[in-house]
Amino acid sequence: MIGNQSSAGHLLHLIRSGEATTRGELQRVTGLSRSTVGNRLDRLFRAGWIREGATVPVGGGGGRPAGRLEFDGTHAVVLAVDLETRYGRAAALDLRGRVLAEHTGSLNVEDGPDEVIDRLARWFPPLLERAGAAPGDVCGIGLSVPGPVEWESGQVVQPPIMPGWDRHPIPERMRRAYREHVLRDAGTGEDGTPVVLVDNDANLMAYAEQRVHYPDCGAFLLVKVSTGIGAGLVVDGRVYRGIDGGAGDIGHIRLHDRTDALCVCGSYGCLAAVAGGRALAERLSAAGVPVAPGTGVRDLLAAGRPEAVRLAREAGRRVGEVLVTVVTVLNPGVLVVAGDLAGAPFVTGVRELLYQRAMPRSTAHLTVVTSRLGDRAGLIGAGAMVVEHLYSPDRADARLAAMGL
């Protein structure tokens, strides 16, 4: 067992996962000697990544209590951004996902990546100040975007509702904006530029909800319904992205009976063009109830406007039609409905169609609920993405070596 669990980075993984949290447990799990475990833990202590927690009793009752080792979630901060079509959220989080400071501001994703990313970066200095953190404390930036993302490059690929963003080098552009608006203003050198990671919003929301509230669910599905519609899948604790980041893009599955509905992607009959927030806003406006997409429809639903409630329930049924196939293929244990439209009327419509048309075997152990993290799901997921990347065994070992540890 020593082979791939012998480095300091792998010991850190065992501690973070809870699989081994004392020196004795680490010795038993890895097969390493006491001195070797001690030497590798010393590197983690010197990096500030772990600390001694409360003591725990040793099995058998005769030994001295052992000190519990734990990941120190306070030694750095992550900046997380959740980008929507008409506004954005940014937050500074500790490494355990606790929000230290948060900001929500208006922006328009259609203004293009340069303007939007610059604006986001200008939010960072006051966020760090409110969080009691310095630019040098930032280990990474996580960005959640409403479009399909090629994970390796961090580039958005053919996003229907993000004109001008296709294949734009978002990580490089964000690092440049960070140097300009954070490091330079703080009088800090450019060497402190943090890593930038990008993923689809539904993926990161699913990742956050599964980790925080459903850690034992091995097949987890989240559907986000706001201006558009998308799904995030978490299988065995890992986001499933497909071959090139296109997994979960259910908003562009075509409905056979709505060939009249023109989607922003240029096709007709897409689910998003029939049941998304933009479609509902257009139908409400046509009925004499002017409203903006997304949050405008959400406000009407919160106020109980009958027209909005009726359309939301109908939209839920259309999404439920598509989810019948998705649930049958994936057989998830939990389905979370999230986003601006994820209220009772919409979820009722989803349940009606899903339980009516899916085979009982597919839904016998399925729980359908709304998001428990709410508006913070994307932020928490973006932060967790950065932490899991930076403290993965191989990456942690490389970082320790770069620190001279």
Tens digits of per-residue pLDDT, 153-169? 999 999 988 999 999 99
Q: How far is CA 378 from the centre of its chain?
A: 5
Sign of CA dihedral 125, 127, 132, 137: negative
Instruction: Spell out the CATH class of 77-202+379-402.
Output: alpha beta
For domain 8-71, give the CATH number.
Answer: 1.10.10.10
- Helices 377-390 and 393-402 sit at what angle, rounded to 10 degrees? 60
- Residue 237 is encoded by which pair of tokens? 């604790």
CA dist 207 and 286 (Å) reads 37
Q: Which of 12, 85, 76, 4 is nearest to 43 (CA)?
A: 12
- Residue 122 is encoded by which pair of tokens? 């200008």
> What per-residue confidence (pLDDT) applies to 187?
45
Confidence of residue 184 (pLDDT cuts 50, 70, 90): confident
Distances in whole angstroms, Cα of residue 200 to Cα of each of 96, 277, 286, 323, 337: 21, 18, 31, 19, 16
φ, ψ for residue 354 (rounded to 5)?
-65, -50
Radius of gyration of the CA atoms of the chain, in A: 23
CA dist 73 and 95 (Å) reads 4
| H or E element in which residue 5 lies | none
- Helices 295-302 and 306-330 sit at what angle, rounded to 10 degrees? 110
- Give the DSSP letter of residue 137: G
Residue type, 346: F
CA dist 201 and 197 (Å) reads 12
- Residue 351 is encoded by which pair of tokens? 């349940």
> What per-residue confidence (pLDDT) applies to 5?
63
Angle, CA 48 vertex, CA 93 and CA 92 arms, to 5°: 10
pLDDT at 61 over 60: no
Confidence of residue 290 (pLDDT cuts 50, 70, 90): confident
In this prediction the pTM is 0.92
Average pLDDT of span 264-286: 94
- Give the DSSP letter of residue 245: S
CA dist 398 and 405 (Å) reads 10
Angle, CA 89 vertex, CA 85 and CA 94 arms, to 5°: 145
Sign of CA dihedral 266, 271, 274, 280: negative
CA dist 124 and 140 (Å) reads 12
CA dist 119 and 106 (Å) reads 10
- The least confident of 62-66, 108-112, 150-154 is 62-66
- Give the DSSP letter of residue 136: G
pLDDT at 64 over 70: no
- List of residues 6+ apart from 208 with CB closer than 8 A: 97, 373, 376, 377, 378, 380, 381, 384
- The residue ranges of every structural domain in the chain are 8-71, 77-202+379-402, 213-374
Angle, CA 398 vertex, CA 393 and CA 400 arms, to 5°: 95
8-71 and 213-374, same CATH topology = no
For domain 213-374, give the CATH number.
Answer: 3.30.420.40
Mapping DSSP to helix (H, G, I), strand (E, B) and coil, where does residue 258 land? coil
Residue type, 261: A
Contact between 277 and 260 (Cβ < 8 Å): no
Contact between 332 and 366 (Cβ < 8 Å): yes
pLDDT at 62 over 60: no
Confidence of residue 193 (pLDDT cuts 50, 70, 90): confident
